Copies of this chain bind each other. A is one copy, B any other.
Amino acid sequence: MKIGIVGYGNLGKGVECAIKQNADCELAAVFTRRDPKTVNILTSGVPVVNVADMEQYKDKIDVLIICGGSATDLPKQTPEYAKMFNVIDSFDTHARIPEHFANVDKAAKECGHTALISCGWDPGMFSLNRLYANCILPNGKDYTFWGKGVSQGHSDAIRRIDGVKDGKQYTIPVESALTAVRNGENPELSTRQKHVRECFAVAEDGADLARIENEIKTMPNYFADYDTTVHFISEEELKANHSGIPHGGFVFRTGKTGWDNEYNNVIEYSLKLDSNPAFTSSVIVAYARAVYKMNAEGMTGCKTVFDVAPSYLSPLSADEIRAHLL
């Protein structure tokens, strides 16, 4: 399976690494909006190509993995590239998924391609676990917790404050809330009761630390509804201890079974990831295999993780899967 990557940031690099781990996958080309000469990739012998020349690869790539941002890149790129290739993206603007799906579906169907949007772990594996658990326990309650992990959006928000040179924000689930859910107590949890936010900020020389701390803690939407702690640290310390992009989280469904709802059940799915983009990429590459197989079987148009039978993700045959994993 020949894979192309568009966009060589954290996610694109993650996809390159994931391809290395899958013997049936081969990186065919990396496409970039930058001058290809300025982009150094890890895999030797693979061309880096400007996006303007993408069409030349129309018949040389089985699945194109689009590693752009959800705000402005993917809404344009995915429908456009679906005309040339089977494609997969990690579109994560929940409210705009129906619109994005419709656009990609139209483009893919017209050209006989298969597309898969919103792939990764949330949306992605977390969505899948919510769906499975909801179908199994119709009489129940969902809980999703994120972290401990770095939120890029909240880190950016800290960095935009006057007097802040750099910063990193960790989203952390409240341990007592996790325990209450796990024990089947079905708690009603406010925003503040579910997660805390821990910030590490590097201040500019002479900046007013009290003002910065206050601006962070009172920032609407981002921090005001949470218990937030702010640590001021040096640039060196930030680099040494906070340069990773770990993440993870928990999806629970608690629900009742039995004639009189007399039995409690807890379904829990959790992820603990040293690198968010590397794991997201690993999910995407598994689904790229599914896209490739589904296209070969004539299943065209736009799909999501909900539409993919699990066996399509595996390099093994149906017989092997049944014999070894069932």
User: What residues of chain A have their CB less than 8 Å away from a CB belonging to chain B?
Assistant: 14, 16-18, 20-22, 42, 94, 97-98, 101, 118, 123, 125, 127-132, 134-139, 182, 184, 257-259, 262-275, 278-279, 281-283, 286, 289, 304-311, 313-315, 318-319, 321-323, 325-326
Q: Which of A182, A257, A268, A315 has the most CB of B within 10 A?
A: A257
**Beyond A128-B310, A322-B101, is A259–B94 a contact (Cβ under 8 Å)?**
no
Q: How far is the CA of A77 from the CA of B132 in the complex (A)?
A: 28
CB distance from A38 to the nearest CB of B (A): 20
Q: Give the residue of B128, B259, B282, B310 whose beta carbon is less than 8 angstroms from that of A257.
A: B282
A275, B263: Cβ atoms closer than 8 Å = yes
Rounded to whole angstroms, the CA-CA distance of A307 and B257 in the bound complex is 26
Least CB separation from A139: chain B residue: B21
Q: How far is the CA of A45 from the CA of B273 in the complex (A)?
A: 53
Q: Give the chain B neighbours of A311 by CB distance below 8 A.
A: 131, 306-307
Task: Decide: A282 and B137 in contact? CB cutoff 8 A.
Answer: yes
- Inside 8 A of A273's CB, which chain B residues have their CB? 263, 265-266
Complexed CA–CA distance, A86 and B240 (Å) = 60
Instruction: Report the minimum CB–CB distance from A110 to chain B (whole Å).
Output: 20
B272 pairs with A266, CB closer than 8 A: yes
A182 proximity list for chain B (CB < 8 A): 272
Q: Are B257 and A275 neighbours in the complex by a CB distance under 8 Å?
A: yes
